[in-house]
Amino acid sequence: MAAPTALTVNARMRALALYFHHCQRSKRWINHKTGRRTSFCHLLIRHVATVVSGTELALQIHKEIQSDITKLVAQGNRRPHLSVILVGDDHASHTYVRNKTRTASLLGMSSSRIFRPSSVSQEELLDLIDKFNKDRNISGLLVQLPLPGHINERAICNAVAPEKDVDGFHIVNIGKLCLDQRCMIPATAAAVWEIIKRTGIETAGRNVLVIGRSKNVGMPIAMMLHSDRTHERPGGDATVIIAHRCTPLPRLKELSSLADIVIAAAGVPHLITADMVKEGAMVIDVGINRIQDPATGKLRLVGDVDFEVTHRRMFKDVIYSEEQYFLFGEQLNFGKNEEDQESPNLIKGPS
């Protein structure tokens, strides 16, 4: 799964340059630390850097949700409950689910994990989902993807009740997203949107390049950024272009060099390099890729953007963390929705 920090292309080196502003040997020091990548260094120190702490953003969101849950329960409402269905033995899926339920507990919610073997039939899975849809004690429900090949993932996503669809994958929620209506938004897209809002990045009229067209990440990000900010679900009023795996690399470089905001969500390690991004552009790296470290031989996580390792880790930590926070933020909205007697079907997801 994945979570997003925002930083400009020149973030680390400009920060270093400012820190060593009064040192005559600063340029020599910076070039030494970057392996004498002088062209990259020159690109990075030419203008002011902006570094946004993803950890601080995540903690802020954490505290806000925790406070809201405390107030919700104090008012006599049910404590929000998340149920997660996990099929098979995929190691990554088990890790994701464990982290989600752990975070639910930290935020003051209850949760449950339901395991089924990879041999489970689609009919059995649909029956289980139907049972949970009818259970009023369950506020949010998600089925961890991917599923075994014999199960139709779209059928499973559409079986989850839209008002309990924490992932935001149901066709009703996707349709509302496209119509600029309030709905449950896929977690990674919601995290990208919140980072842009909380950091005060202006999107109206700006050129945005979204690299990746998946229905769970790239598409919802593009929909939110291009839509009208005066609509029911306010959008970003940006000029959005979507690139994907069939976009030729020369064309991708051309598009990225024109973008004010680049959002990398292609799942291709180090796809975006410094020479592809113009000065002052904001870059959000949503990619999570596992590659073998040539030094240690072990697998490590890298992004779609080829930046300094420290900031690449920051990207990953933030995207991952905020994904969870927004997942539970949506779940909290489900809990509130249960107590809304006048509008029992109102979905109050983040916009």
Known catalytic residues are 100, 144, 167
Residue 105's contacts (CB-CB under 8 Å, 6 or more residues apart) are 111
Tokens 């709905």 belong to 183
Tokens 């049910």 belong to 78
H-type alpha helices, the chain: 11-19, 26-33, 38-44, 54-74, 91-106, 122-134, 153-159, 171-178, 187-198, 218-226, 249-258, 309-338
Nearest alpha-carbon partner for 208 in 220, 198, 221: 221
CA 178 distance to own-chain centroid? 18
Report whether the peptide linkage leading into residue 162 is cis, meaning its omega lies within 30 degrees of zero.
no
Please provide the size of the chain in residues.
Answer: 351
Asked whether the beta carbons of 245 and 266 are under 8 A apart, the reply is yes
